[in-house]
């Protein structure tokens, strides 16, 4: 039986069969990829973290928010950065998704609605939601997939603290 697997492996190599087929052939032959565990562990996100708004992130007045929002809009739209547009719509967004809520008019609409616990939303709440929203989910809702689909931006290093600040400003600018 092992000889058959070795022959299949050789054929896979010579004929250029996909890496997955090759790996499965190796696995069937009893040969494991020693790096598989480390590769899989890279996909496991770190534990949820609580973030305070950095002192350099001024979200206290309209003028500061407006300045930061210009950069935040770029982060929102850019696929290689936040890629928020993959799930959310916003003004001028092209190809926006419908997994998350439409953020058009966010400050005067969704921002005024209570959070998961029925509490009023704050700028700190919005910042945390973008940085690592998992910490905001009540225990009784943590197993409900709908509440766990927001990407984890700051804890995973997908975005910097500055970019999370800019995104927060952009969302707050959507009146």
The whole-number average pLDDT for the span 91-116 is: 94
How close are the terminal C-alpha atoms of the chain, in Å?
Answer: 67
18-56 pLDDT, tens digit per residue, is 555 555 555 555 556 667 777 777 777 789 999 999 999
Q: Is 167 exposed, middle or buried (0-12, 13-18, 19+ CB in 10 A)?
A: buried
The domains located in the chain, with CATH, are 2-41 (no CATH), 62-173 (1.10.760.10)
Percent of the chain with pLDDT over 70: 81
Q: Quick check: 119 and 110 in contact, CB under 8 A?
A: no
In angstroms, what CA-CA distances link 67 with 52, 61, 86?
A: 21, 10, 24
Q: Which DSSP category does 119 fall into?
A: P
pLDDT at 5: 54
Q: What is the mean pLDDT of residues 79-96?
A: 92
Helices 62-77, 161-173: inter-axial angle, 10-degree rounding: 110
Quick check: 59 and 123 in contact, CB under 8 A? Answer: yes
- Across the range 78-102, mean pLDDT stands at 92
Q: What's the predicted TM-score (pTM) here?
A: 0.75
């Amino acid at each position: 039986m092992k000889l058959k697997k070795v022959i299949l492996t050789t054929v896979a190599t010579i004929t250029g069969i996909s890496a997955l087929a090759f790996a499965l052939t190796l696995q069937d032959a009893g040969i494991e990829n020693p790096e598989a565990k480390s590769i899989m562990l890279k996909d496991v996100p770190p534990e949820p973290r609580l973030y305070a708004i950095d002192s350099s992130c001024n979200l206290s007045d309209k003028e500061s928010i407006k300045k930061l929002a210009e950069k935040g809009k770029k982060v929102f739209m850019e696929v290689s950065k936040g890629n928020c547009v993959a799930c959310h719509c916003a003004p001028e967004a092209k190809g926006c998704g419908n997994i998350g809520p439409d953020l058009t008019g966010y400050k005067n609409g969704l921002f005024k609605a209570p959070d998961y616990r029925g509490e009023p939303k704050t700028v700190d709440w919005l910042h945390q939601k973008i940085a690592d929203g998992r910490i905001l989910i009540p225990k009784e809702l943590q197993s409900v997939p709908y509440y766990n689909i927001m990407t984890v931006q700051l804890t995973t290093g997908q975005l910097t603290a500055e970019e999370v600040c800019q995104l927060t400003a952009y969302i707050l600018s959507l009146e």
